[in-house]
Structure 1
Amino acid sequence: MTRKLITITALAAALSAAGLSHAAEFRLPEFDTITLQNGLTVYLMERHEVPLISVRAVVKAGSVNDGKQAGLSNLTGDALLLGTTAHDKAAIDQAFDYRGARLAGGAGAEASTVQANFAKADAAALLPLFAEVVQQPSFNDVELGKLRTRKVNGIKQAKEAPRNVVQTYYRAMLFGDSPYGIPASGTVDSVGALKQGDVQRYYQQYYRPDNAAIIVVGDFQKTEMRKQIESLFGAWKASGPAPARQDNGKVQADKARVLLVNKPDATETTFLIGGAGIARNDPDYVPIQVVNTVLGGRFTSWLNDELRVNSGLTYGASSQFGTLSQTGTFAISSFTALPKTEAALALAHQTYQRLWDKGIDKATLESAKAYVKGQFPPRYETGEQLAGLLGEMYANQVGREQIDNFTKSVDSLTPEKAKALIDKHFPRSKLQTVLIGKADTIRDIAKTYGDVTEIDITADGFR
């Protein structure tokens, strides 16, 4: 699939270069939205191009709901695949593997997902198993113990490669003790302390029909599929009051700050620079992607040109908006050899300042618009991708108008509007910085970018 996407993207870029920059307007295919009597939301989208079906369950629960038990949502999401009250893990794995189907699960900051992809001919056998996994997990204690051990080991190993954990440090720094600051993976101590009862309690509290959606995309007839979903999920019951909407926190950026994470054996410095961003359903979500494409959203961006191509300070530099349902983050990200840390940070700041000093001219903006339009439709060409999009829309309260108006939103962007977006959404002062590297070498450099808090990478946790 990756190779196919690359090919399509390359073709789109070639057409743009040839002057054919007016990409076909993309509209989200039609789908039905149904609410069952138990409160379960159901999305059904027919796609008959290939005899495949993608189904997923999305539950509005993630690390923001972990409280003092960081990693609980992550462990629970993966533990759903450890077997059901009727079938053990081996039987479920065999049922899917034998048919060349796929079953996966996991949890993020605000949503947990179970997804399956299988042939239309196998729906009768696998859809009931999928429903079992979602509604009747056994949370087998032996299997759960093995999973917990793997996760603890994974947390330890992740810190060996700073690029694996720099975003987690960044979120923890930006959001502090608020729910958005909770590391999704948890910490060695927090995950190691989780028990079967914790997972069962979390499941009962958040995995309920009035807090979830079932999404089916693929080769089926809506009327028949609706009957199947009602039959398989209609008896799912919720107990107690539904989870209340909570405030997950805002970025703390009242002054310029630096989190210096000491890794004494590091030969590189990994860094993020930024601050507050936007929510996933923000009206400016689409045009801000175009502006960010110029700054750091593609290989020919300003940041990559300056830090990689022109100066050779790094193998790559980028910028991105990390969106959440209530807010988001913005970050410039890169890494550099330890002796080049000072130069790389200075150049990153200098390049970022170009947004205000020079702005984005029409030719540069038109190039970015063509690039973004060329990339957008291929992201949603398969049933699995469309199911993922519908799940994202459900979890983040994104209306279909954002998708349907994508081309219009891109085409209407002018240099003047881009400037307004820059002034509104790109943090300019009181920047927040995470540096992971050898503190003895870069400590004085860190001080030039704000008040420094220093921690050791071997310490359990991320702040």
Structure 2
Amino acid sequence: NKKHQHTPPRPRPAARGGGGAPPPPPPPADFRLPAFDTVTLQNGLTVYLMERHEVPLISVRAVVKAGAVNDAKQPGLSNLTGDALLLGSKQHDKKSIDEAFDFRGARLAGGAGTEASTVQANFARADTAALLPLFAEIVQQPSFDDAELAKLRERKVNGLKQAKEAPRNVVGNYYRAMLFGESPYAIPAGGTVSSVGALKQGDVQRYYQQYYRPDNAAIIVVGDFQAAEMRKQIESLFGAWQASGPAPAAQDNGKVHADKARVWLVNKPDAIETTFLIGGAGIARNDPDYVPLQVLNTIVGGRFTSWLNDELRVNSGLTYGARSEFATLSQTGTFAISSFTALPKTEAALALAHKTYQRLWDKGIDKATLESAKAYVKGQFPPRYETGEQLAGLLGDMYASKVGREQIDNFMKDVDSLTPERAKALVDKHFPRNNLQTVLVGKAEAIRGIAAQYGDVTELQISADGFQP
């Protein structure tokens, strides 16, 4: 067993009595990831146990390293499989499982993303004996009931048909397809109408057998329990879970293609708005510069008072909001500026977005702006990891994306040590400046000439059945 220790937060100094000016607010307490045990069972299953005794609640999460990148020629298969786990086990049907959790005020959820699939439950400590075995059944012995699966598949197909009516729902799929080409990171997590409609029970069962296995998964428990006792429970419930065949091989999920400035113009003939993304390559979730880049992105487009939102919304009224984000994956990531604007304002909004983004290089980030962003990020960070559910989610991300705890423990230090000089070096290293990639979703007839100002244009028709030209 490996025990991860932590240093408790520094106590805040008491305010002084007497008159005069009030003391300055204390700095945010240093944040450390609470202690947790890491155990590997004989069958290869990774187990994280983190005791938190403040409230009598337990959060449990199963994380499997399988997602859209493993869908190959069947986009949406991981997504369907992840949701289908909740359709019942071989011992209990969906109705009885739902009732068991609902009756106790507990919560059960699941799903799949780009690289990982998750089942999570939150319940009172007193209900552990009743609900933890049910959770284990769902993970290890799903029934994939054919009638329930058919209903789930139909709901997903209908959702995909509706999604294309709101460009903001699908613009990200086009952006990833543009950046990653034919590589696994381009596969849309939700699939397409034709790919999901063609999925059968046998496909889901095969996918489950291939990827849902103890040597490709972690069980995370956070909350009010004794670690030694909980370890025995997890071993009794999951110790007999066995993998068949070789473990899934590591694969290269792709790199961003940005050798020249390109524009994908996605035609939605009835659109009265233009939705856009502008950017390029980003960083992986475990990149050593992950934390300082959160600070710098806060300035560019990560909060309401960011440069982009100030210029495009507050000062010019060209949009209802603009933002930027480093979207991280386990092997790489993307960076994008995003917004939408009324059709007649498309040219002005795009021009202002580019001009505002170029401030990173034209003017740089001054000390006052940087200090404001540092204070904001430090204030936002600890509240993200207060509850057991949040901490279980963090441990799940750390497992799936190979993030070391030092990224969390050194957060405050990494923020505090960020200087304007360091900021400039990070901007030059990580923010894409040349060969920007652009996706525009809107009325092509009206914005075709505008699109051509920003790179080689490829035109597509908006569709619920694919995101490639």
**Residue aligning to 1:13:** none
1:96-131 per-residue CA deviation (whole Å, 9 max, x = no partner) reads 000000000000000000000000000000000000
**Residue aligning to 2:36:** 31
1:378 deviation in Å?
0.2
Distance 1:449 1:234 in 2: 56
8 Å contact kept, 2:160–2:464: no
**Residue aligning to 1:186:** 191
- TM-score when normalising by structure 2: 0.94
Q: Confirm whether residue 48 of structure 1 aligns to residue 53 of structure 2.
A: yes
1:19 deviation in Å?
5.3
1:161 deviation in Å?
0.7
Q: Confirm whether residue 154 of structure 1 aligns to residue 159 of structure 2.
A: yes
> Counterpart of 2:118 in structure 1: which amino acid?
T
1:38-437 counterparts in 2 under 5 A? 38-437=43-442
1:187-246 per-residue CA deviation (whole Å, 9 max, x = no partner) reads 000000000000000000000000000000000000110000000000000000100110
1:460 deviation in Å?
1.5
1:20 deviation in Å?
3.3
**Residue aligning to 2:447:** 442
- TM-score when normalising by structure 1: 0.96
Could you say what secondary structure the match of 2:284 adopts? coil
> Counterpart of 1:44 in structure 2: which amino acid?
L
1:374-408 per-residue CA deviation (whole Å, 9 max, x = no partner) reads 00000000000000000000000000000000000
> Counterpart of 1:448 in structure 2: which amino acid?
Q
Could you say what secondary structure the match of 2:101 adopts? helix
1:3-42 counterparts in 2 under 5 A? 20=25, 22-42=27-47
1:320 deviation in Å?
0.2
- Count of aligned pairs between the two proteins: 446
Distance 2:26 2:68 in 1: 41
Could you say what secondary structure the match of 1:287 adopts? helix
Distance 1:109 1:460 in 2: 19
Distance 1:265 1:455 in 2: 15
1:151-185 per-residue CA deviation (whole Å, 9 max, x = no partner) reads 00011111111111111111111101100000000
Could you say what secondary structure the match of 1:316 adopts? strand
Structure 1: gaps spanning 5 or more residues:
1-17
Distance 2:75 2:138 in 1: 23
8 Å contact kept, 1:21–1:370: no
> Counterpart of 2:132 in structure 1: which amino acid?
L
Distance 1:169 1:213 in 2: 32
> Counterpart of 1:377 in structure 2: which amino acid?
P
Distance 2:163 2:104 in 1: 34
Could you say what secondary structure the match of 1:448 adopts? helix
1:458 deviation in Å?
2.9
1:292 deviation in Å?
0.5
Identity of aligned residues (%): 85
Could you say what secondary structure the match of 2:97 adopts? helix
> Counterpart of 1:259 in structure 2: which amino acid?
W
Deviates more, 1:53-62 or 1:20-29: 20-29
Could you say what secondary structure the match of 2:80 adopts? helix
Change (3 A) 1:220 1:410: same
Distance 2:416 2:333 in 1: 25
Change (3 A) 1:45 1:331: same
1:23 deviation in Å?
1.2
Any runs of at least 4 consecutive aligned residues in structure 1 with deviations exceeding 2 A, and if so which? 18-22
1:426 deviation in Å?
0.3
Could you say what secondary structure the match of 1:74 adopts? helix
8 Å contact kept, 2:163–2:464: no
> Counterpart of 1:421 in structure 2: which amino acid?
L
Distance 2:322 2:43 in 1: 48
Across the aligned residues of Structure 1 and Structure 2, the Cα RMSD in angstroms comes to: 0.8
